[in-house]
């Protein structure tokens, strides 16, 4: 009996830890339901609202850990758009949304290197 209780407790702890880490699949559904009307929420596509950054580029603009903290505090995070609604998410929803956001981030394209300008040769 004790082994069964310990096994149940262990499985519950494992499940809660996995849940705390978040599910990108659930996070995608949250983004689709709450954010897709303005933001591009996938790895491709343009945002419907030109002031709304594409989710795949958020890490280029903000540290995602700061975004997670701001969402937990229930504040608007870095939105220039005055029509950005205020969302209140539960901790498990934040974990899911952050898992999704981390899964779709793209690296910034490197800026093209410019050739060093050579000075014109002068004749002695």
Residues whose CB is less than 8 angstroms from the CB of residue 40 and which lie 6 or more positions away in sequence, other chains included = 46, 47, 48, 52, 54, 55, 56
pLDDT in tens, 86-98: 788 999 999 999 9
86 C-beta neighbours (distance < 10 Å), count: 8
Half-sphere exposure of 91 (CA within 13 A, CB side): 5
pLDDT in tens, 28-56: 999 999 999 999 999 999 999 988 999 99
- Write down the pTM of the prediction: 0.68
Domains of the chain, with CATH numbers? 19-104 (1.10.760.10)
């Amino acid at each position: 009996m004790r082994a069964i209780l310990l096994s149940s407790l262990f499985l519950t702890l494992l499940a809660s830890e996995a849940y705390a880490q978040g599910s990108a699949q659930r996070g995608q559904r949250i983004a689709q339901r709450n954010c897709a009307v303005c933001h591009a929420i996938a790895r491709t596509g343009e945002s419907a609202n030109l002031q709304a950054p594409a989710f795949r580029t958020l890490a280029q603009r903000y540290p995602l850990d700061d975004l997670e903290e701001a969402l937990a505090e229930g504040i608007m995070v870095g939105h220039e758009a005055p029509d950005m609604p205020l969302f209140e998410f539960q901790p498990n929803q934040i974990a899911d949304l952050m898992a999704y956001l981390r899964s779709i981030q793209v690296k910034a394209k490197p800026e093209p290197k410019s050739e060093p300008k050579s000075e014109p040769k002068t004749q002695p």
